[in-house]
Amino acid sequence: MLDKTKKDWWKSAVVYQIYPKSFQDTTGSGVGDIPGIIRRLDYLQTLGIDVIWLSPVCASPQVDNGYDISDYRDIDPMFGTLADMRRLIAEAKRRGIGIMMDLVLNHTSDRHPWFVQARQGRENPYHDYYVWRDGQPGRLPNGMQAVFGGPAWEWVPEVGQYYFHQFAPQQPDLNWENPAVRREIYDMILWWMDQGVEGFQLDVIDQIAKDPDLEITCNGPRLHEFLRELSTETFQKGCLVTVGEAWGADIPRARLCSAPDGSELSMVFQFEQMVLDQQPGKEKWDLAPLPFVKMKQSFARWQQGLHGCGWNSLFLNNHDLPRIVSRWGNDGAYRVRSAKLLAIMLHGMQGTPYIYQGEELGMTNIRLPIEQYQDLEIRNFYQKRRAEGCPEEEILRSIYAKGRDNARTPMQWNAGPGAGFTTGTPWLPVNPNYREINAQAEMADPDSVFACYQKLIALRKRYPVFVEGDFALHEAEHPRLFVYERSLGEEKLLVVCNFGDEATPWKAPDPWKNAQVLIENCPRQEGALQPWEARILYCGKQ
Ligand code: GLC
């Protein structure tokens, strides 16, 4: 168990993300719930994780699956009650697991009482909680577009103004310039800290300091001022782990956000590697092959760029990204081996690893008929491209590759009906491959993807070089090998990954010839690495 009174305890922690809607249903509603998470805590303890990041469970009309909150201090009835939540926090704590809540602070739901008031009139004290601009019906303040498509402005006749929304119209942006808004947010966070949560994930946090007149949404001029105030008023009063979602972060900015003095956050999610397989300057839907050499060099830059002066988060999946084994691995003949390679490649690095539910089983993408998709981003994208005359097959190809519902299909617990997720009809179909890919089968198999994750987590706890070591990229230009070295005094690791369906000649360089193998994903052969082979070598004290 980690010593969580130590300021930087989260540097040795492994976080597991739960998307509650798809994790475990206990009522037959087809939607996962908090009692379901409690039921699966033993599973998570067996895996070895330290923190659960819970995607939003607060009261919400669910326009964007809970990222549209209507009451920050209550639980959505679909997931249970506040009493269930308190029980989850206590039961998790008993197993040495902390709960990380998802804070959606950039916007609320349009049904939040603040917004209901705000739209009643310009004189209402809540009006200034949101971002408004004058205008006339049909004459938008400017041409800004929302992330989910359509204009970022919505007209409210009662006040004769437009409000600003970076996401869906039902997600009005909060006005962080207003100190009263910030105070409300801090009080709410302190209240959650009192409930015993041990961390927070901050949704789209780099978008809070916007200036719509200058068309600035990301990295606005007051961003770091706001983050420092937020941290002083809340997080620094406890010993918390915090991670901010920051699509716009580069290395210098991530250094500020994750400064070792704790003045802002523990770390950010940056997406530099995750946008490499799209056409530069285009939407994520505009697919491009993964530029492998760029990918590993980008990881190397971040590893070195934050070493000693910031902290990385390590992730390949979340609820917004397609399944990594289908994306960068091979989810056919080499599914198991490539899923393990991806895990080894990531968990050998410096940073706090995040495992997204089902990743530890090697769960894959899904292909559904268009009417079965639930995600509003997918639906909006489909309609827009259809209207532009784009052929159906091409649109579907993008959705199969990048749609967010790939990550949101129910957790595959066993080979029984509903994959053990629900006795009812799941809100999003279960992937038909649940008969082969499921937790029960993998827990019984010492060679499973699950066993590999379990082992990687244990290794990180045992050898300080995983947490503290520096990073050097080997074979920087090699088109298939991703090889890197970590070192901490006399302790050294060499992580070797053969990325692809072909064998690649390779011999361990000198100091590594007789090194101990900490983990590997297939039998070794002299002089070559097998397709998708990966291993971690170790030199140092025993
Ligand atoms: C973040 C969330 C995503 C959500 C969006 C708006 O990007 O991860 O799921 O749709 O914010 O809140």
What's residue 1's pLDDT? 80
| Span from the CA of 220 to the centroid of ligand 1 (angstroms) | 19
The CA distance from 155 to 145, in Å, is: 14
List C-alpha distances in Å: 462 to 163, 342, 466, 518. Answer: 52, 21, 9, 11
Predicted confidence (pLDDT) at residue 425 exceeds the cutoff of 80: yes
The model's pLDDT over 244-280, given as tens digits with 9 standing for 90+, comes to 999 999 999 999 999 999 999 999 999 999 999 999 9
User: Where is 442: in which H helix or E strand?
Assistant: helix 439-443
What is the per-residue pLDDT across 71-88, written as a single tens digit (0 to 9) for each?
999 999 999 999 999 999
Q: Give CA torsion, residues 283, 286, 291, 296, to 10 deg.
A: 40
Query: At 133, which helix (H) or strand (E)?
Result: strand 132-134
Token pair recorded at residue 384: 């827009």
> How confident is the model over 362-400, as pLDDT tens digits?
999 999 999 999 999 999 999 999 999 999 999 999 999
Kindly tell me if the per-residue pLDDT of 146 is higher than 70: yes
- Kindly report the CA angle at 254 between 251 and 258, in degrees rounded to 5? 140
The DSSP secondary-structure symbol of 9 reads G
Q: Whose C-alpha lies nearest to ligand 1, atom 12? A: 67
Sign, CA torsion 42/47/51/56: negative
What is the position in ligand 1's atom list of the atom closest to the CA of 67? 12
Predicted pLDDT of residue 47: 98
Per-residue pLDDT reduced to its tens digit, 467-520:
999 999 999 999 999 999 999 999 999 999 999 999 999 999 988 999 999 999
Question: Each residue of 153-167: pLDDT tens digit?
Answer: 999 999 999 999 999
Mean pLDDT of the chain: 97
CA dist 114 → 101, 122, 185, 287 (Å): 21, 13, 12, 40
Give the closest residue (by CA) to ligand 1 atom 7.
Answer: 204
Average pLDDT over residues 214-226: 97
Q: 320 Cβ partners below 8 Å, 6+ apart?
A: 404, 407
Q: For ligand 1, atom 4, which residue shows the shortest CA distance? A: 67
Centroid of ligand 1 to alpha carbon of 319 (angstroms): 9
Please state, in angstroms and rounded to a whole number, the distance separating the CA atoms of residues 392 and 406.
18
pLDDT at 116: 98
pLDDT value, residue 144: 97
Q: Pocket residues for ligand 1 (CB within 6 Å)?
A: 64, 67, 104, 167, 203-204, 245, 319-320
Q: What is the spatial distance between Cα 56 and Cα 284, in angstroms, rounded to a whole number?
A: 24
- The closest of 69, 54, 61, 58 to 20, measured between CA atoms, is 54
56 vs 171: CA distance, rounded Å: 14
Q: Give the span between the Cα atoms of 437 and 424, in whole angstroms.
A: 20
Taking CA atoms, 449 is separated from 22, 244, 320, 332, 471, in Å, by 20, 28, 22, 14, 25
- Closest atom of ligand 1 to CA, residue 104: 12
Rounded CA-CA distance 108/69 in Å is 5
Structure-token match 């009417």, residue found: 371
Angstrom distance (rounded) from CA 80 to CA 410: 18
pLDDT digit string, tens, across residues 320-353? 999 999 999 999 999 999 999 999 999 999 999 9
Look at ligand 1, atom 5, and give the residue with the nearest C-alpha: 67
Q: How confident is the model at residue 542 (pLDDT cuts 50, 70, 90)?
A: low
- 464 alpha carbon to ligand 1 midpoint, in Å? 34
Beta-carbon-side half-sphere exposure of residue 464 (alpha carbons within 13 Å): 8
* Residue 453 alpha carbon to ligand 1 centre in Å: 27
Q: Could you give the C-alpha distances from 373 to 376, 400, 402, 408, in angstroms and in order? A: 8, 11, 13, 10
What dihedral angle (degrees, nearest 10) is formed by the CA atoms of 483, 486, 491, 496?
-20
Rounded distance between C-alpha atoms, residue 236 and residue 226, angstroms: 14
- Quote the ligand 1 centre to 527 CA distance (angstroms): 46
Mutate to test the pocket of ligand 1, among 203, 313, 375, 381 (most ligand atoms within 8 A of CB): 203
CA 320, 325, 329, 331: dihedral to nearest 10 degrees? -130
Give the total residue count for the chain: 542
Residue to substitute in 55, 64, 408 for testing ligand 1 pocket (most ligand atoms within 8 angstroms of CB): 64
179-194 vs 223-233: helix crossing angle, rounded to 10 = 40
Q: How far is the CA of 149 from the centre of ligand 1 (A)?
A: 14
Q: Which of 54, 67, 110, 381 to mutate to test the pocket of ligand 1 (most atoms within 8 A of CB)?
A: 67
Would you name the residues annotated as active-site residues? 203, 245
Provide mean pLDDT across the span 234-244: 97
- Among 511, 523, 536, which residue's Cα sits nearest to residue 459? 536
pTM as predicted? 0.97
User: Which protein residue has the closest C-alpha to ligand 1 atom 2?
Assistant: 203
Question: What is the residue whose two structure tokens read 């200034």?
Answer: 128
Query: H or E stretch including 484?
Result: strand 481-488
**pLDDT, tens only, 98-111:** 999 999 999 999 99
- Residue 68 CA, closest ligand 1 atom number: 12
Strands (E), 143-288: 153-156, 161-164, 199-202, 241-245, 267-269
